[in-house]
Amino acid sequence: MTSPSSQTVTARDLFLSADLTDDAARTYLASRGFQDPVAADEHLQTMAADLSTRQALGAMADTLLDALCASADPNGALVGFTRYLATRTPPRSFLGYLRDDPRATQILTQLLGASPSLGEILIRSPEYFHWLQLALKRTPPDHIDYHTELDTLLATGADTGTRLDGVKRFRRREYLGVAARDLLGVTDLTDATRQLSTLADVVVHAVLRLLSDDLRATTGRDAVPGRFAVIGMGKLGGMELNYSSDIDLMYVYDPADPKAPADHEFFHRLARRLTKALGDHTEESYLYRVDLRLRPMGRHGDVASGLKQYEHYYETMGETFERFALIKARPVAGDAQLGQSFLDVVQPFVYRKYLDHAALEEIARYKRRAEQASDSDRNVKVGRGGIREIELFTQVLQVTYGAEHESVRSPTTLTALAALRDKGIIETTVHDDLDRAYRFLRMVEHRLQIVHQSQTHTLDESPDVLDVSARRMGFDSSAALESTLAAHRDRVHTVYADLLAPPGDEVDDGRRLFRLLGGELSDSEAIELITAYGFTDASDILHLVRTLDQVPSLVQARSTSRNLLANLLAEMLARVAAAAEPSRVLNRLERIVTCSGAPGSLYRTLLETPMLRTQMVTLLDTGDLLADRLSKYPELLDSLVAAPLDTETHRTAWERVLDQLGTGDPAARADRVRRLRQIEEAKVLVEWLAGGDLATLQEKLSALADTCVGRIMTWLRQETEAADMETEWAVAALGKLGGGELTVHSDLDLVFVYRVYRGGRGDSALFTRCEALVKKLYRFLEAPTSEGIIYHLDTRLRPDGKKGALALPFDKFAEYLAERAERWERLAWTRCRVLTGSPALTEEMNRLVTDFVYGDWDPSLPAYARHIRSRMETELGKEQRGDRFDLKVGRGGLADIDFLLQLLQIRHGANHPAWRVAGSRRLLAASPASPVLDTKETERLRDAHLFLRTLETYLRIESDAGASVLSTDPERQRVLGARMELQTPTGDALRQRYTEVTGDVRRIFEKGIERLEGEGNG
């Protein structure tokens, strides 16, 4: 026989040749591709422990050596084969089986060479290899197959621990099947990740069901107290589970009785038990490592939360990273309907109605931190051009466009990328490049993790180890792997950087403002950014912007509020810069935000509602009144974009609210009326500032006062002895309220008249009760509380003025008008309008006032009116010093118009009912004919009246007080000019316009007086 040393060595010689030397054997093994031929020879000889086994090995040696050398790691495959063979009894029988089925040998060695961890599963359960042989010939199982088998397993009468061990064996076997199909090319990457995720879904659901029944039984309950669902996050949620992934979970429940602490505790216990059961190590190992850190408040949060808790948390405290994390949210176990309800709750948080540029900066910053914390050059997950960059690229676009395009919301990265391509959001070439790169990088990640079932994402730097890794990934050499990897990573990073890390001059404002708020810009850079919006006082504006960022939130994370503020400022600053007083706009916004206690909620509302954002700047630029009301009553925000209502619709709504306040604690009722007046007044002001006309504003404010006074009077009469059916009342309004011209901070000029019904006793006791009733009304309307006042009353126009009775019997009122009324009172009573009262008394009072006002013409009235008007101008207007303009009683002011029109009413009203109109605005709108005023003069007075009353309204909104004086300060006049929308809003422009208007009014007033005096008694 020829010695093997002089012949070519064969695989059979390794087992059967007595003459084969160690050196020859090892040389042969090295030539076949074994990196450690010494160890390989030792393992081969270890297997041949007895003659029968040696002979069986010799018989299949060629098949075995060919299969081992074809594997990615011949040495590793041989180690695994040696250990596995030791589990088969007798070994020769199994070797005979392999000799007869070369394909089985190839499967076994391929798995062992790719993954020692899979070898451990086979060594632990040798019978799984035969199960695997059959499984590979069948269609891969789906969730129904998994559920069916687990249902059978759990239906046994064994205890909970035993059944959990059974689930672990099932999961381990199915994991082997998924991995084998992947490594052998039966399925592709997406199939493998989907199967791993489906397996996890079914396992979690089965364990949950088992533990729910167990906990229900141990707590003595007939049924689970509500609903419970498990939400998969991360790769599990995205159906992208790795071979060694943790499973990121959140638990949501809906208790049958939300007020029962025991129900809540049941679900908390269930959540803790589920987490423990999934992660506990026993003799059968464990199921899954569970990570709950994505739940609200992370490690510090409740292990499970109710649906409403989640909703509140994400509405108020949710952070940017949680929005991105929730893209992957998917119900995986438990009550499916509750799981869907959870998704419905989080969708508005994830997919906002505005472009979230600041989120890009937050995510880019997060990515940079991850890179710094990793061995990023070798890490295919978080390193440059790695998996995380593809995921972030996709998620940023999902967050940006998901509100508009529901199809891009998929939790699965590849599906989402395809949807982004289909919607034209990314180009086909970008999609194709990222799709290929993602599949490649995930393949690399899978092959790394499956080796030892460990959470690694890093390629080893050792050449020998890297060569093995390359072969496991289908490459002939590590150089080929590195070249392909580098090409994919370069392309991924280019695409990622174009979106999330553009050059400095291409970064959008939201991101730059986020950096500014985070202190990442120098003062000079910050000033430059602010100045670019058009601000002239950039330093002051920068201070105010930073002040907004410092507003504490009672409910939201700082990063959340900062993100929202940065986005909001990017949308608002240009409009703020164009305001009349930019710094005051931001200052007032800061007051509102501070009072809200939840800056982020307000910022989000403004971001998601462009019309509201625009209106907010306009309102805050008008002054303090609306800023203070918004600070005090946040519910007013909704009214800023509400459709305007007509006066009667408003009145009906106010009456309905007041009807509901008719009973209850009087003090609380009064405060609710105060609140109603403050809120409703602000609403109608908002309507006006949004483009309404002044006449409608005045009518609505007058109607609000009418409604409040009338309803309060009714309440008080019902509560006092005056409601003894002896009296009837009439409450008359004079002044602005009488003329339907009420504006903000107007006093109410009221006169109270009563009359004893026929048969009643009009004695002093009744007079005292009626006087007390009016005093009570005074206190109700004027008493200040934390809600302010309702209205200030002015009863100086009552008979006998301050010295007169607050409530006057009708006969005394008639006697006063007939015998003691002064001439100026004829002018004042032209504005009379009865707000509330009995029909009979109202009719008689109207007739009495008409007879008084429109009686015989007194030729001395024009001169008298001029004299009174002159005194008002001098004593009240005080314009002589030249430092103020009084819109009301100054030269050519509103009093000139009112006095002239009242004289004309008295002059013509007796014979021409068209002149019997209460109020200058209404009278000018009606334009009854008069020889004293021609048509053009009437039009000029109408325009002047509108100008002066508009200016007065802006003054009062600005100061939140009853102002009627225009400052001569050019800056203040510039601001008012801008609000009045003068073509050139400068101080000189407003002064010039005011001087022209009042000068014209004075000329018409003087001419009118002269014409009336010239008429004599004609």
Tens-digit pLDDT profile for residues 280-318: 999 999 999 999 999 999 999 999 999 999 999 998 888
Whether the per-residue pLDDT at 851 is higher than 90: the answer is yes
Whether the per-residue pLDDT at 552 is higher than 90: the answer is no
pLDDT the model gives residue 1: 41
DSSP state letter for 887: T
Q: What is the CATH classification number for the domain harbouring 930?
A: 1.20.120.330
Whether the per-residue pLDDT at 1018 is higher than 50: the answer is no
**How many residues appear in the chain?**
1018
Q: Does residue 737 sit in the same domain as residue 665?
A: yes
C-alpha 265, offset from chain centre: 30
Calculate mean pLDDT across residues 35-39: 95
Q: Does residue 859 sit in the same domain as residue 1007?
A: yes
User: Is residue 395 in some structural domain?
Assistant: no
Q: What is the CATH classification number for the domain harbouring 223?
A: 3.30.460.10
User: Is residue 89 in some structural domain?
Assistant: yes
Whether the per-residue pLDDT at 543 is higher than 60: the answer is yes
Last-in-domain residue among 325, 350, 375: 350
Q: Does residue 862 sit in the same domain as residue 791?
A: no
Last-in-domain residue among 334, 350, 366: 350
Instruction: Return the closest-CA partner of residue 303 out of 382, 365, 250, 349.
Output: 250
Last-in-domain residue among 350, 379, 395: 350
Q: How far apart are CA 444 and CA 466, in angstroms?
A: 12
Instruction: Return the closest-CA partner of residue 192 out of 157, 129, 156, 235.
Output: 235
The residue segments making up the domain with residue 44 are 4-114
Q: Does residue 89 sit in the same domain as residue 215?
A: no
User: Is residue 765 in some structural domain?
Assistant: yes
User: Is residue 340 in some structural domain?
Assistant: yes
User: Is residue 140 in some structural domain?
Assistant: no
pLDDT the model gives residue 502: 64
Calculate mean pLDDT across residues 693-718: 95
In the chain, the number of structural domains is 4
Q: Does residue 867 sit in the same domain as residue 729?
A: no
Whether the per-residue pLDDT at 724 is higher than 70: the answer is no
What dihedral angle (degrees, nearest 10) is formed by the CA atoms of 313, 319, 321, 322?
10
Phi, psi of 119 (to 5 degrees): -60, -40
Kindly report the pTM of this predicted structure.
Answer: 0.78
Written as six digits, the tokens of 1016 are 């004599």
Q: Does residue 847 sit in the same domain as residue 864?
A: no
DSSP state letter for 746: P
State pLDDT tens for residues 882-936. Answer: 889 999 999 999 999 999 999 999 999 999 999 999 999 999 999 898 999 999 9
What is the percent of the chain with per-residue pLDDT over 70, rounded to a whole number?
Answer: 95
Calculate mean pLDDT across residues 189-197: 95
Q: Does residue 218 sit in the same domain as residue 228?
A: yes
Q: Which of 8-12, 352-356, 655-659 has the least mean pLDDT?
A: 352-356
Question: 57 or 727, which is more confident?
Answer: 57
Whether the per-residue pLDDT at 867 is higher than 80: the answer is yes
Q: Does residue 26 sit in the same domain as residue 47?
A: yes
State pLDDT tens for residues 406-463. Answer: 999 999 999 999 999 999 999 999 999 999 999 999 999 999 999 998 888 889 888 9
Q: How far apart are CA 501 and CA 197, in angstroms?
A: 33
Whether the per-residue pLDDT at 372 is higher than 70: the answer is no
Q: Does residue 791 sit in the same domain as residue 879?
A: no
pLDDT the model gives residue 629: 94
Question: 751 or 321, which is more confident?
Answer: 751
User: Is residue 477 in some structural domain?
Assistant: no
Instruction: Return the closest-CA partner of residue 781 out of 837, 710, 879.
Output: 710
Q: Which residues pair with 625 in a beta bridge?
A: none
Q: Does residue 328 sit in the same domain as residue 188?
A: yes
Task: Determine how many CB atoms are found less than 10 A away from the CB of residue 537.
Answer: 14
State pLDDT tens for residues 575-629. Answer: 999 999 999 999 999 999 999 888 888 898 898 888 999 999 999 999 999 999 9
Q: Does residue 865 sit in the same domain as residue 848?
A: no
Q: Does residue 845 sit in the same domain as residue 878?
A: no
3-state secondary structure string across 910-943: CCCHHHCCCCHHHHHHHCCCCCCCCHHHHHHHHH
Calculate mean pLDDT across residues 525-539: 95
Whether the per-residue pLDDT at 3 is higher than 70: the answer is no
Q: Which of 333-347, 475-489, 517-531, 983-997 has the least mean pLDDT?
A: 983-997
Whether the per-residue pLDDT at 367 is higher than 70: the answer is no
Per the CB < 8 A criterion, the answer to whether 752 and 793 are in contact is: no
Q: How far apart are CA 807 and CA 97, in angstroms?
A: 117
Average pLDDT in the chain = 92
Per the CB < 8 A criterion, the answer to whether 950 and 742 are in contact is: no
Written as six digits, the tokens of 184 are 């052998």
Calculate mean pLDDT across residues 712-716: 91
Calculate mean pLDDT across residues 795-824: 93
pLDDT the model gives residue 920: 96
Q: How far apart are CA 331 and CA 362, in angstroms?
A: 27
pLDDT the model gives residue 377: 73
Contacts of 498 (CB under 8 A, 6+ apart): none
User: Is residue 225 in some structural domain?
Assistant: yes
User: Is residue 605 in some structural domain?
Assistant: no
State pLDDT tens for residues 934-991. Answer: 999 999 999 999 999 999 999 999 999 998 999 888 889 999 988 888 766 666 889 9
What is the percent of the chain with per-residue pLDDT over 90, rounded to a whole number?
Answer: 76
